[in-house]
Structure 1
């Protein structure tokens, strides 16, 4: 009898953990993309000012910055999938309480600050564990393809989440968007419960303080890593102020409100996803050099808002910003996967995020006062120029220009030596 046709096999790089983590990230991302829009308009709808929006955003970022390193040390000691489940449940609970308060119509500013801080704490525990899990689930030879697919899924949720968040905020109010975010967290936690325990790193045999010190030494031994994280400490503060404070304020003032800003953020998501298709096939040799060219696009939304362009041009600027984020993000993940020892992933990832987000609470907290002092246009021009200048300055570092993709047969580059020119 003829042999029955065999079912096509899944790609060898798409492990079970990779598929589950990607699906859970997409689901939680749907809620997370709409939650900042809903939170901003909940503050404004309660009679709050642009400064209050900045304070609420800063309240979420501050515990993230303070607890990231602790989250990294825990993720290199404990099962990462269990940490992610616990963090998702905690974040889901805090968002559910926030949603209930907003829906009841009696949310006070101090409550918004406290619950935003709880969400930031949940993220600080989740993020290093997530980074370590996805890195370990991907073979190095397929890293670019896998990370592109992961980021496409992650970024696709930005499109639906931002559009849905903006539309629901305009149609039924921000409380329902926050309730949806809580539900997405709970579903993601349920999925991550079925992750298989990853290969445990070799026990350090020391204290957590020693683990943190070893992670720090691994981080500072690479000049390219320090330079880019320093660059992003300012970039993230500027971009966060634009997207969380200035953008919603401009949308409320002259673009038509939450629906228009949701459309703008959706264009950002489209840029992320479309470029992910390109990055799944493109394997640039100079990974950090190419990635930093994408960073030049980060300041376009601030530039468009400052110039008071029509909505279609603002949508185009946000689309190009999404293109730049994916170009940088995929190459950055490839560089970390290639250069950082597996047992150090979560700690180095935590120091990376700590540095990158270190000025974000200050930037968002001062966004309102800066708009008062400089005018909204002046604050936006400042953010746009800062993004451009920092993108150019990083190219002065030889390791950023020269760090190259290795084939699977290449020997690792010593961490403390300059990266040689290919």
Structure 2
């Protein structure tokens, strides 16, 4: 099964179909009263535009409901082929909200149609000099009713069994761009959070951080689109876990929240941060595995040396050819992948590195103590304890 099909099996496509009456008509030359000698430019040079047939505020409810439906889909999904790709697990929740939007739209539609004639009359009263051109362009209530509608459709997307290779590649390219679209939408939400709620603030309330929770849930639901998402979700979970249950948020915690939001507001840095976190996790896992193998090997060795075996004392510091040979071999590689010229990224990476180092040092100390407790002590002339423990440095 291809990666494209794996993704398609986990999502549905939701198409929101909202038709909203524009209440506009083309402005004609005869609608204008020109002064003597005035001349309009020809149509191939400029167009006259349109004229409103009623107060646009009376239609604002329909535009608001349409945008709300789109936000509901974007909260857990991302744009795709004129609709929204939504995880199968979240589809039922989304359709419940869209059903509510449909009911609200129907009520607003009925109310608008009942007051349509009065709305047109009010508009002409407001513009008495142009009442004639408004009246000539008025649409009937029956026609307006056909231009106000809301509906949605939920469909599954799959690769056809018989399909030219070029079409398969085109669809796979579209599917491959889903993660890029997702990171872009996350960046838009994060930038709004920074500009409207965080930037320049000395303290904020818990309510100001709701966008971060929504961003976290969206990333978690669409984590199958990009392998770099999972560590980002873990980072946000760690941050949300530090937020107090009550009281204002300020100081270093607020700075960490700002740094996270600024990172998420940059799609490129967000992806790079995810890659860096994955690299750090892989390095830590490799180190832990090597340390565990070294411990298992030490436990499996004989506890008493044969009497005939010569005892050789070797001190690492006495061997200049191998001293510090492997010092820093992984540090440069890790620093190169985690480097960033952005303040927000540096804050998060420094924090992550510090936590990783603390946890790793604790694990190494525990393993070292375990070796010392389990290994037998053989007293040999000319061999001190430091030389006996020198093998513990060679975890590789």
* Higher helix proportion (structure 1 or 2): 1
* Higher strand proportion (structure 1 or 2): 2
**Relative contact order: is structure 1 or structure 2 higher (C-alpha 8 Å, sep ≥ 6)?**
1
Normalised TM-score (structure 1)? 0.23
Normalised TM-score (structure 2)? 0.24
